[in-house]
Amino acid sequence: MTKPLSSRNGSGMATLCRPAVAVPEHVITRQQTLELARETHADHPQRDLVLRLIENTGVRTRHLVQPLEEVLRHPGFEVRNRVYETEAKARVPQVVREALEHAGAEAAEIDLIVYVSCTGFMMPSLTAWVINSIGFRADTRQLPIAQLGCAAGGAAINRAHDFCTAYPGANVLIVSCEFCSLCYQPTDLGVGSLLSNGLFGDAISAVVMRGEGGTGMRIERNGSHLVPGTEDWISYAVRETGFHFLLDKRVPGTMEILAPALKALASQHRWDAGQLDFYIVHAGGPRILDDLCHHLGLSQEMFRFSRATLTERGNIASSVVFDALARLFDEGRVEHGARGLVAGFGPGITAEIGVGRWHSTPSTTAVDGVLS
């Protein structure tokens, strides 16, 4: 039987292991998205601008939890939220089991489950259902995060790190379930809304943070930064028809004010944010990554994992950082001791940032996708 937290010993180190990521089987291409926008909004006064913005996202394919014709049909908030719950329960367990396997952990060894999502609502949280369905202990802590949007991936990592720091040797499971297509609103005709229709995709991801052992990014410091006076730049209007996503035109330029926050956290750790070995950051759009390259003095290559996620899956909200981290594992070139940064950006405007070193266990195998 697993020891209770109070009786454990440990060094206080916490390693973010290899994530498991899954995307739904229904796919929409950029060409299909553009054709749909041309047909649906033929008389929109800013249609050409919208088409150009969608082209410039760099998104080639996105995955949807329902067939496209179902996504376009709005059956009401109640039905959509029921779809969210049904699909989450159908798809999350396999991803959780894969994440546990990647980390070499059993369900009974998990002390906290952090569940992040901004695209559906359940109470009790899906954490309760997961605990009951997959064999987690009844005393497993639960931390649902529902209102941090795309920043929630970074926040989940940071809260897991906080927990492992408070309880050395503890293990945390993070689950992200984002069905952005369930937030499609056919009556929202603002440029920001129409751009979002060609940007966001659906995905489920999970990852274990181990308090002891494990191969992956060992988080050493984390921090948050809120940009004052920007609460209405990214937001939801909650109406009878569900969540209506609102995106201010100033959002793409936020890296000019958030890059200094990344630099400040790294400097607290006596590191230079522009001189690290790897970067796992939220890819809200291509300009976010372009501006980070500029403000941190980095080459485009340093954000190749985030760019690949954006290109192949679109903006998958809180799952972006986990998908990008999985790609870092897949590449298999990161070395033990390499220094890195992970960051999520979202409503607030909020940045959730962590820094740490890559840690490879002596028993690392080819399956881990890293060099020992």
Residues noted as catalytic: 150
Q: Within a 10 A sphere around the Cβ of 371, how many other Cβ atoms?
A: 13
Interatomic CA distance for residues 170 and 313, integer angstroms: 32
Please give the sequence-ordered ranges of beta strands (E in DSSP) within the chain, or none if there are none. Answer: 14-16, 20-22, 26-29, 61-64, 112-116, 141-145, 171-179, 202-210, 216-230, 234-239, 242-247, 278-281, 339-346, 348-359
User: DSSP 3-state assignment of 16?
Assistant: strand
Pairing of strands 339-346, 216-230: unpaired
Contacts 24+ apart (CB under 8 A), 89-92: 89/126, 89/129, 89/133, 91/22, 91/24, 91/177, 91/204, 92/126, 92/130, 92/175, 92/177, 92/204, 92/206
How many angstroms from the chain centroid is the CA of residue 190?
25
**DSSP-assigned letter for residue 209:** E
Considering only CA atoms, which of 105, 58, 69 is closest in space to residue 308?
58
At 17, list the tokens. Answer: 């292991």
Peptide bond preceding 349: is omega within 30 degrees of 0, i.e. cis? Answer: yes
The residues pairing with 62 across neighbouring beta strands, listed in sequence order, are 28
Place of tokens 């009844």: 138
Q: For residues 155, 158, 159 and 160, what is the CA-based torsion angle, rounded to 10 degrees? A: 120
